[in-house]
């Protein structure tokens, strides 16, 4: 079938709106009509060329919501008409990782996903007779896409697509990192580096679990008002600390010794170090969420860890997609979490590049493309 898609032909170039061809679902696969998709910083990162798994041409996008149109042979848990959220972290419930109960990082299809193909090694998308790659197993920058059954969370039918698409990445990543990965305790002091689409959800998660003090760090002063609305109690703009500003010292002083929990939501190794070193001696837990470019590395004095700080990471908020995503949709529908205020822009597909420009200028939190 013909589908409308924003195609990434080359790294560093704007997306190109094209009619591409999509094959139907094979065994274990599902054809989904994507109704809405968010633009995450990770899409921008891959498009920039800094992602070692970034391959072109590809159809990016991994923060979608839509409706099942057709199921392939053997699919038993989904049927046409079901409302779904694509999962870049699938949940097969059978692999070593799923069975371990220690991680959400299902390994069933990770290797083919990283190569931009379906589990059988081929792509369903093509343009002018040549294959176009999938991205993160989702490719939500197309109005129809094909995914494995294990990479779809079935969600309630009354939830609005243009809001719950954000649960496909940013909301779950931020709130999940607090609840499932770091397991922030009530009364804790929390520091959040980067107050964008992920960091603001970390703040909202921290408020949900009853954190006592929530300190936000961002170089964009426009982030302060929104972050306060979501529960931030203190704002630090490193640029206000002067050219030699000591962010770590400032936070340690502000918190009387360091934060109980810190989160890096930018993808900057310097901030990752600051987040760790400004967490509390003896028990501080610092969670890396941000994705740093190929070739970048983190460093700290081992003494920081010897003296009791712990450095951990979180992918998709530690959430098990098919199990946890429907619950997070319920939280939204029950008014327990706020998504609406974080979606600052709605765009049609043919203006998707404007969404990335807004992100680059720090003018949007989340832009959502509505098909
Ligand atoms: P975003 O662009 O919406 O937000 C980034 C924020 O960081 C902005 O507010 C920006 O002003 C701030 N920032 C930039 N440089 C800074 C600096 N030097 N000091 C302080 N603040 C600074 O991006 P996002 O969508 O929130 O994504 C954030 C990061 O999380 C990205 O690296 C993205 O790839 C990653 N991510 C990871 C996961 C995961 O599962 N681990 C999931 C989604 C996104
Ligand atoms: N290909 C990238 C991987 C970047 C990465 O860490 N991705 C996160 C999700 S970001 C969503 O916005 C993730 O889930 N990681 C676990 C995994 O298995 O990819 C790179 O930099 O190599
Ligand atoms: Zn994302």
Residue with tokens 């299902």: 106
pLDDT of residue 138: 98
CA distances (Å), origin 277, targets 255, 269, 309, 367? 13, 12, 8, 33
Q: CA of 227: how far to CAs of 173, 214, 334, in Å? A: 17, 10, 22
How do residues 290-312 score in pLDDT, each as one tens digit?
Answer: 999 999 999 999 999 999 999 99
Residue 47 has pLDDT above 90, yes or no: yes
Residues 112 and 186 both lie in one domain: no
pLDDT at 241: 95
E strand or H helix at 369, and its extent? strand 366-370
Q: Tell me, yes or no, whether 326 lies in a domain.
A: no
- Please name the residue whose Cα sits nearest to atom 7 of ligand 1: 194
Q: What is the pLDDT, as a whole number, of residue 242?
A: 83
| Assigned domain for 182 exists | yes
Domain that holds residue 145: 2-168+339-370
Strand 366-370 to 125-127 pairing: unpaired
Q: Name the token pair of 346.
A: 């709605």
Same domain, residue pair 240 and 305: yes
Question: How many Cβ atoms sit within 10 Å of the Cβ of residue 175?
Answer: 26
Give mean pLDDT, residues 154-167.
Answer: 98
The question of whether 270 is a catalytic residue gets the answer no
29: β partners? 148
The reply to whether 363 belongs to the active site is no
Please check whether residues 304 and 346 belong to one and the same domain: no
* 320 a catalytic residue: no
What pLDDT is stored for residue 230 in this prediction? 98
Q: What is the CATH number of the domain that holds 31?
A: 3.90.180.10
CB 38 within 8 A of CB 352: no
Q: 269 pLDDT band (50/70/90 cuts)?
A: very high
Q: With 90 as the cut, is the pLDDT of residue 243 above it? A: no
Q: What is the pLDDT of residues 93-103, one digit of tens each?
A: 999 999 999 99
**Distance, CA of 31 to CA of 124 (rounded, Å):** 10
Q: Is the ipTM of this structure higher than 0.85?
A: yes
Rounded to whole angstroms, how far apart are CA atoms 285 and 207? 17
Distances (CA, A) of 266 to 84, 157, 288, 290: 28, 33, 9, 5
118 pLDDT above the threshold of 90: yes
pLDDT at 244: 83
Taking the C-alpha atoms of residue 106 and residue 324, their distance in angstroms, rounded to an integer, is 14
Would you say the C-alpha torsion 92, 156, 344, 319 has a positive or negative sign? negative
Claim to verify: residue 96 and residue 152 sit in the same structural domain: yes
| Ligand nearest to the backbone CA of 54 | 2
Separation of CA 114 and ligand 2 centre (Å): 9
Provide residues with CB under 6 Å of ligand 2: 40, 42, 51-53, 89, 105, 110, 169, 291, 315-316
**Confidence category of residue 85, pLDDT binned at 50, 70, 90:** very high
Same domain for 236 and 220: yes
Q: Report whether the peptide linkage leading into residue 57 is cis, meaning its omega lies within 30 degrees of zero.
A: yes
Among residues of the chain, what percentage have pLDDT more than 90? 99
Q: Are residues 85 and 141 in the same domain?
A: yes
Query: pLDDT, tens digit, for every residue of 59-76?
Result: 999 999 999 999 999 999
Are residues 148 and 41 part of one domain?
yes
Residues 186 and 260 in one domain: yes
Could you tell me if residue 208 is inside a domain? yes
**37 found inside a domain:** yes
Q: Is 197 in the pocket of ligand 1 (CB under 6 A)?
A: yes
Q: Is residue 324 part of a domain?
A: no
106 is catalytic: yes
H/E element, 98: helix 96-100
The rounded mean pLDDT for the chain is 98
What is the number of domains present in the chain? 2
185 and 311 belong to one structural domain: yes
pLDDT score for 336: 98
Verify that 157 and 203 share a domain, yes or no.
no
Q: What is the mean pLDDT of residues 129-144?
A: 98
164 and 37 in a common domain: yes
User: What is the atom index within ligand 2 of the atom nearest the CA of 170?
Assistant: 12
Residue 332 placed within a domain:
no
In a domain, 329, yes or no: no
Report the DSSP beta bridge partners of residue 70. Answer: 31
State in Å: Cα 131 to ligand 1 middle.
31
Please state the atom number of ligand 1 nearest to the C-alpha of residue 220. 11
Give the tens place of pLDDT for each residue, 272-284. Answer: 999 999 999 999 9
Confidence check: pLDDT of 143 > 90: yes
Question: Quick one: pLDDT at residue 266?
Answer: 98
CATH label of the domain that carries residue 183: 3.40.50.720
Q: Give residue 34's pLDDT.
A: 98
Clarify whether residues 148 and 177 are in a common domain.
no
Query: What's this model's pTM, rounded to 2 decimal places?
Result: 0.98
Based on its alpha-carbon atoms, the radius of gyration of the chain, rounded to whole angstroms, reads: 20
Q: With bands split at pLDDT 50, 70 and 90, how would you rate the model's confidence at 251? A: very high
260 assigned to some structural domain: yes
- State the Cα–Cα distance between residues 298 and 292, nearest whole angstrom: 9
């Amino acid at each position: 079938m013909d589908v409308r898609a924003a195609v990434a032909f080359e790294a560093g170039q704007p997306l190109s709106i094209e009619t591409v061809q999509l094959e139907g679902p094979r065994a274990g696969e599902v054809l989904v009509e994507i109704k809405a998709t968010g633009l995450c910083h990770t899409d921008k990162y891959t498009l920039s060329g800094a992602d070692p798994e970034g391959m072109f041409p590809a159809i990016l996008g991994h923060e979608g919501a839509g409706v099942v149109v057709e199921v392939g042979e053997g699919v038993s848990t989904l049927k046409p008409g079901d409302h779904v959220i694509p999962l870049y972290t699938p949940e097969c419930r059978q692999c070593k990782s799923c069975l371990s109960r220690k991680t959400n990082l299902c390994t069933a299809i990770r290797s083919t996903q990283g190569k931009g193909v379906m589990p059988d090694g081929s792509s369903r998308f093509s343009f002018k007779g040549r294959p176009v790659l999938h991205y993160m197993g989702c490719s939500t920058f197309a109005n129809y896409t094909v995914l494995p059954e294990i990479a779809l969370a079935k969600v309630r039918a009354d939830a609005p697509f243009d809001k719950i698409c954000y649960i496909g990445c940013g909301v779950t990543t931020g709130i999940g990192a607090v609840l499932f990965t770091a397991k922030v305790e009530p009364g804790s002091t929390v520091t959040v580096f980067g107050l964008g689409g992920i960091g603001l959800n970390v703040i909202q998660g921290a408020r949900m679990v009853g954190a006592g003090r929530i300190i936000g760090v961002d170089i964009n002063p426009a982030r302060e008002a929104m972050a306060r609305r979501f529960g931030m109690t203190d704002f630090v703009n490193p640029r206000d600390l002067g050219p030699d500003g000591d962010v770590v010292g400032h936070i340690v002083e502000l918190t009387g010794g360091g934060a109980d929990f810190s989160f890096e939501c930018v993808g900057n190794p310097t901030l990752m170090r600051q987040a760790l070193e400004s967490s509390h001696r003896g028990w501080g837990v610092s969670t890396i969420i941000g994705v740093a470019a190929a070739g970048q590395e983190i460093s700290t004095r081992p003494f920081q860890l010897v003296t009791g700080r712990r450095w951990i990471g979180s992918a998709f908020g530690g959430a098990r997609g098919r199990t946890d995503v429907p619950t997070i949709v319920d939280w939204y529908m029950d008014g327990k979490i706020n998504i609406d205020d974080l979606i600052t822009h709605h765009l049609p597909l043919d203006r998707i590049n404007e969404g990335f420009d807004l992100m680059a200028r720090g003018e949007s939190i989340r832009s959502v493309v509505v098909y």
